[in-house]
Amino acid sequence: MDVRYWTYILVGLTFALYIGIAIWSRAGSTKEFYVAGGGVPSIANGMATAADWMSAASFISMAGIISFAGRDGSVYLMGWTGGYVLLALLLAPYLRRFGKFTVPDFIGDRYYSRLARFVAVICAIFVSFTYVAGQMRGVGVVFSRFLEVDVNTGVIIGMVIVLFYAVLGGMKGITYTQVAQYCVLIFAFMVPAIFLSFQMTGNPVPQIGMGGEYLDTGMPLLEKLDGLSEELGFNTYTEGQKSTFDVFCITAALMCGTAGLPHVIVRFYTVKKASAARTSALWALLFIAILYTTAPAIAVFARVNLLKTVSETSYTEVPEWFKNWEDSELIAWVDKNGDGKIQYNGDGAAFAALEGDPKFIPRFKGKRDDAERGEFGERLLENPPTDGTNELYIDRDIIVLANPEIGQLPNWVIALVAAGGLAAALSTAAGLLLVISTSVAHDLVKKTFVPGLSEKSELILARCAAAAAVIVAGYFGINPPGFVAEVVAFAFGLAASSFFPAIILGIFSKRTTMQGVIAGMISGLTFTASYIIYFKFINAGGTLWWGISPEGIGTVGMLVNFVVTILVSLATPHPPQEIRDLVDRVRLPRAAFGEEDAGPVDH
């Protein structure tokens, strides 16, 4: 049976499972819609958190960027893993004990201000839309190849699926759907990794196989990859181009952005008590580690197979997978020297004329089925660049999805990876859309403008907001500002520069005032967003400040936020006594107050 039919079967079965769970667990109250009723078991919440956390960026794009960037790509691995540890140990139990549904709820009550809540809502929506754009883009990439539709159509299909179970089930439906999605995505990620590790090194454990000997030559696999890279003109894979300072800034932005991501934080409100929040965080870390320790191995396996397969190969002899992805418009070849062979090296980009435009996807002449072809049968680009000697464009988001095909694995494995990629993208997209709908219905309307809104009206409003958010997210998925991991990195930088200081100071500092946190969030978010917009869209390729890339500027924005918040807080009156008492009650053990660890504090 060919890949298409296997894909229809596996994707159809998993979608039916998700929709069935959404119908079974549909929300009947705002508490079920926002926090799944607050009674999810720790291990189930750990799985759901892992699925929420391991988005399309983790499943599809992280191994891809490590595969292309080598050491430089490890910032995503270090930042996201370290960030989750930071969140689990430093923030999750305290936020759970506070007992509110959302981050804007925490900020609004902790800083005794509707304006602070409003600023937090704007930050949450801004961060969530940036993040969800990457997820919808990932959905489009998967569908474009395996269901043989274009990327835009794939995004629209994903919108319909997410809309159904996010709007119907709310957090309750999403939580139990994400448990199923975790099982699908981790199985889909590990099966090809084990196949390829055994195929290339004789060791079925990918984490060990990556450092083992390559069976074809008997030399260490990483040494073989370094040699292939240097022969073709690339930088050595195990060395990087980014400065140590830039690597530090990106890693710090990803770590602190993790601790400020609204859709991850809200997961800790779905368990019964603070101790369960800590336990579910540890379960989630275990489940996340399985994928995160495997991603570098997949990156190495894919890179070796890719370089061996396409470099100096005649176009007429390329494997079927190459032309399949070419038809999806995510691979393109420009025969600059007319020899009919693929030159893939580090001498400039094949699409140097479009460098700096990360939205670029090669659009071929004619329709998909009757595109104009050249002398060697290649798909022709409308305006192919002529500078440089590199002739091959590869969208880095396809590496994990194409890996089983490149390694010539069975068709059912290829289809399984497609189902896993969709599970990863849809699980996170659903969580983000819920954050957006909650921010609009609960924090913006009910808590700020219409305090007397009934629960029924609030639930209807939340579902309408989720539907509107899906449409906006779909637009950004069709017109993304970068590849999946890059778009997500921007979201983490924005979260680090806006929420992280407000949450940390809100928990650990009784002196922080509403004036300080409002000024800090606005300053940090404005600085970070302005830098990203300027150097990605206005002056792409310009000289960066202090050599910090847009993905890492959130670290500086976070420091701006901290400094502004502290200075303004010191210049304004102390918070009211009841707020200072609230900070003590959230931070100190319940035993100090003679209370059980059973639920949120009273405030």
CA angle 148, 151, 157 (to 5 degrees): 80
Angstrom distance (rounded) from CA 278 to CA 88: 7
CA angle 429-393-210, nearest 5°? 70
Q: What was the pLDDT predicted at 166?
A: 62
List the structure tokens of 532: 């990203």
The runs of H, that is alpha helices, within 111-261 are 114-146, 151-201, 206-209, 221-231, 244-259
DSSP 8-class letter at 73: G
**How many CA atoms does the CB half-sphere of 176 hold within 13 Å?**
24
Any idea what DSSP says for residue 554?
A: H
Q: Are 363 and 22 in contact (CB under 8 A)?
A: no
* Residue whose tokens read 């990360």: 358
Q: What is the pLDDT of residue 32?
A: 57
Contact call for residues 493 and 528 (beta carbons, < 8 A): yes
130-160 exposure pattern, b = at least 16 Cβ within 10 A, e = fewer? bbbbbbbbbbbbbbbbbebbbbeebbbbbbe
Burial of 566 from C-beta contacts in 10 A (0-12 / 13-18 / 19+): middle
Backbone angles phi, psi at 271, to 5 degrees: -100, 170
User: What was the pLDDT predicted at 380?
Assistant: 52
- Dihedral-angle region of residue 572 (phi above 0 means left; psi in -120 to 50 means alpha; beta otherwise): beta
Give dist(CA 360, CA 351) in Å, integer: 9
Two structure tokens written together for 38: 């607050």
Confidence at residue 486, expressed as pLDDT on a 0 to 100 scale = 61
For residues 421 and 134, give the distance between their C-alpha atoms in angstroms, rounded to a whole number. 13
What are the residues facing 373 on neighbouring strands?
379
- What pLDDT is stored for residue 80 in this prediction? 79
Q: How far apart are CA 402 and CA 561, in angstroms?
A: 41
Q: Which CATH superfamily is domain 3-302+410-588 in?
A: Sodium/glucose cotransporter (1.20.1730.10)
Residues 6+ apart with CB under 8 A from 433: 128, 132, 162, 166, 466, 469, 470, 473
Joined tokens for residue 241 = 């181009």
What is the DSSP code (8-state) at residue 379? Answer: B
d(CA 564, CA 545): 20
151 neighbors 368 (Cβ within 8 angstroms): no
Between CA 480 and CA 478 the distance in angstroms is 6
- Per DSSP, the three-state class of 220 is strand
Secondary structure class of 409 (helix, strand, coil): coil
φ/ψ of residue 270, rounded to 5: -90, -5
What is residue 261's DSSP assignment? -
427 φ, ψ (degrees, to nearest 5): -65, -45
pLDDT at 359: 40
pTM equals: 0.74
Q: How far apart are CA 167 and CA 79, in angstroms?
A: 32
Q: Where are the domains of the chain?
A: 3-302+410-588, 331-394
Look up residue 430 and give its amino acid. Answer: A
Distance CA 517, CA 500 (A): 11
- Token match 């779909």: residue? 474
To 10 degrees, the CA torsion angle through 278, 162, 423, 273? 10
Q: Which residues contact 380 (CB under 8 A, 6 or more apart)?
A: 364, 365, 371, 372, 373, 374
Distance in angstroms (rounded) separating the CA atoms of residues 180 and 185:
9
Cα 303 vs. chain centroid, distance in angstroms? Answer: 22
* pLDDT for the residue numbered 34: 57
- Residue 151 CB partners (closer than 8 Å, separation 6+): 137, 140, 141, 143, 144, 328, 329, 330, 361, 478
Question: Residue-wise over 501-536: b if at least 16 C-beta within 10 A, else e?
Answer: bbbbbbbeebebbbbbbbbbbbbbbebbbebbeebb
Q: Which amino acid is at 469?
A: A
Per DSSP, which regions of 14-127 are E strands? none
Average pLDDT, 10 consecutive residues per value, the chain (603 residues):
82 83 66 58 84 75 77 80 79 74 80 86 79 74 70 81 66 76 88 90 90 84 77 62 87 84 71 74 86 87 82 80 76 79 67 42 44 53 62 76 82 85 76 76 78 80 82 78 62 86 91 94 93 84 86 94 96 92 76 45 47
Query: Which whole-number Å values give the CA distances from 138 to 182, 320, 481, in the listed order?
Result: 16, 22, 13
481 CB-near residues (< 8 Å, 6+ apart): 133, 358, 359, 487, 490, 536, 537
